Amino acid sequence: MSEPRIIIEPQFSVERRSLERRACSLPPQPDFLLVHFIESQIEGLSTGSSLLVNPHQTMQLPSGRGRSEVLLVRLAPQLLIETATRLRLYRTGANLLFRQPAPSLAIDQRLRTALEAMSSEMAGGAAGWREIVGSLINQLAVYLLREHINVQRSDEIELSRVGIVDRRLRRAIEFMHDNCGRELSLAEIAASAYLSAFHFARLFKKITGAPPHAYLAALRVERARRLLAETDLSITEVGARVGYASQSHFTKVFREATGLTPRAFRAAALGTPDIS
């Protein structure tokens, strides 16, 4: 198994790592997600295939026979919107979604070639590999807009400061982004959307496929990923900033969500060996 490598940039992130044989749940997150199977031990997901997941959707992977090597590519909606605007594909008020119901399986040779080139650069770590991956990300955005993403007008979806969201959930999602560093009750989150806790929880799960607190937990992990990669805060301080007073609890939650401890994740993101 190769050492994990991670790039985190403002409009994208890429992780090359392994998945354990147990079933794996990828929680809802604000970005477009591609899961490319470099080596797959999971039934129904062949080596070279990719899963495409829309923003704010959860995905459950079945358990496999052993470790699977994957490339996780997250693309911020703003990156795709800016690319679509340059290509004259995007108009204000439009929505971007993968064409097939997500998460959908894509067996696409050109997509596979681009993702495997990205994976190879990350595995090799030769001089300039980060710059090449960044260039491949831009090419990938163009290809996805050509072949796998629909740009269409939607009265229910809007672009907010936290990405493309359903209008009915926008206030609540923005509230969670602003307050993820403290304990939040379901009633408090629902009140930000002017809904009862019962109706809000039903609506949120219907739209995203996950309960509100699963989204909040994923948001905290995403914030922690960036703090680990972009700051020199201690692990304890990072955990506290995203709402976990206990370092052991933070480490447990982070590892369950990413497959890595916070220390190992930081080492991979910085390109340094984890000697712990």
The pLDDT tens digits of the residues spanning 142-197 come to: 999 999 988 877 666 666 676 667 788 889 999 999 999 998 999 999 999 999 99
Cβ(103)–Cβ(32) below 8 Å: no
Yes or no: domain 169-270 corresponds to CATH 1.10.10.10: no
Gap between the Cα atoms of 155 and 95, Å rounded: 9
Q: Give how far the C-alpha of residue 171 lies from the chain's centroid of Cα atoms, to the nearest Å.
A: 21
Cβ(84)–Cβ(20) below 8 Å: no
pLDDT band at 272 (very low <50, low <70, confident <90, very high): low
Assign a CATH topology to domain 5-153.
Answer: Jelly Rolls (2.60.120)
Instruction: Output the pLDDT for position 257.
Output: 83
Instruction: Output the pLDDT for position 1.
Output: 46
User: With 80 as the cut, is the pLDDT of residue 215 above it?
Assistant: yes
Gap between the Cα atoms of 187 and 195, Å rounded: 9
Gap between the Cα atoms of 182 and 236, Å rounded: 15
**Interval 30-73: pLDDT, tens:** 789 999 999 888 777 888 888 898 887 777 776 666 678 889 99
Gap between the Cα atoms of 267 and 156, Å rounded: 41
User: With 60 as the cut, is the pLDDT of residue 74 above it?
Assistant: yes
Gap between the Cα atoms of 42 and 65, Å rounded: 7
Instruction: Output the pLDDT for position 24.
Output: 64
For residue 79, give every residue at least 6 positions away whose Cβ sits within 8 Å of its Cβ, in sequence order, or none.
11, 12, 137, 141
**Domain locations in the chain?**
5-153, 169-270
* pTM for this predicted structure: 0.82
Cβ(28)–Cβ(56) below 8 Å: yes
Q: Give residue for tokens 């795709």.
A: 80
Output b/e per residue, 185-221; b: 16+ Cβ within 10 A.
ebeebbbbbebeeeebbebbeebbbbbbebbbbbbbb
Gap between the Cα atoms of 50 and 53, Å rounded: 10
Number of H helices, E strands in the chain: 10, 12
Per-residue pLDDT averaged across 214-218, rounded?
88
